[in-house]
Amino acid sequence: MTPLRQRMLDDLGVRNYSPHTQYQYIYYVAAFAKHFGKSPELLGLEDIRAYQIYLVNERHLSWSTLNICVAALRFLYRVTLRKNWDIQHIPYSKRGRKLPVVLSQDELAQFFQAIQSLKYRVILMTAYSAGLRLAEVVALRVSDIDSGRMVIRVQQGKGKKDRYVMLSPAILTLLRTYWKAARPTEWLFPGRTLGEHLKCRAVQTACERAWAESGLRKKVTVRSLRHSFATHLLEAGTDVRTIQILLGHSSLQTTARYTHVSTATIRAAASPLESFTDKIVQPAVGSETVA
């Protein structure tokens, strides 16, 4: 390990960045250095700009991947190397605005019915029932299920924050059935390696398989289950602030995007066409022409 990499790891650790973020930052800085065949200490703003152009034009990376790379380089040069640069010269990529995929309750029932494995059905239904992220649901411990208070404790979620979410009575019944069959001790969903929880990729694979077998046209992912949870709560009358707390969002603005996909919100406004359709003379049946 180079001295620069160790310094950056130390700086990330002191600031309590998660192990996953530390890994990503080091990975993207190493890729940056490898691209030029030089230490980052010998590279400057013009090199960073050229690298960003390369990632966009030749690698065609998504905005999210680009922004992780930018965050890593910003940290390296601002914190570890202490460069007195205007950080705006290392710009983030503008985020594309896409509406989240939301499944209806009938579609969710069809999807869950297609999951043959009890373990994965419990995992994915738990994720939907409490709006959990993939990394959060696989990292649940047996002790996180509080049936006395009917809550689930999410430990060190995104941003290294703890929170509580609701424990659905239906999920509690399913969890008890699963516990009797699997007898987990520490991790609620243990992986193949002793002492470790289930890998995220295993859940993603199971989700992809169930989606294919369900016959649904909408793509189903753990993230779309979380989106559906939030939207269904909003349509049921839950206020946005409560949904923000349940989802673990830092910003209310992030949660407010679900108002754009809530059918209750959309249907609340009548189309202006309704105000004058009675003035339109409808053609007689059989007299229409189709261009």
Say whether pLDDT at 12 is over 90. yes
pLDDT at 196: 93
Say whether pLDDT at 277 is over 60. no
Calculate the alpha carbon distances from 15 to 69, 79, 136 in Å: 18, 11, 22
DSSP character for 162? E
181-201, pLDDT tens digit by residue?
A: 999 999 999 998 989 999 999
Say whether pLDDT at 177 is over 70. yes
Contact 100, 222 (CB under 8 A): no
Q: What share of the chain is helix, strand, coil (3-state, %, to 5)?
A: 60, 5, 35
59-118, pLDDT tens digit by residue?
A: 888 878 888 999 999 999 999 999 988 877 788 776 656 677 889 999 999 999 999 999
Contact 17, 25 (CB under 8 A): yes
**Percent of the chain with pLDDT strictly greater than 90:** 58
pLDDT at 255: 67
Report the side by side order of strands in the sheet with 161-166: 145-146, 151-157, 161-166
What would the two tokens of residue 205 be? 């694979």
What would the two tokens of residue 53 be? 């152009």
Calculate the alpha carbon distances from 108 to 191, 216, 219, 245 in Å: 26, 9, 11, 23
User: How many separate helices (H) and strands (E) can be counted in the chain?
Assistant: 13, 3
Domains of the chain: 3-89 (1.10.150.130), 105-267 (1.10.443.10)
> CA 33 to CA 232: how far, in whole Å?
46
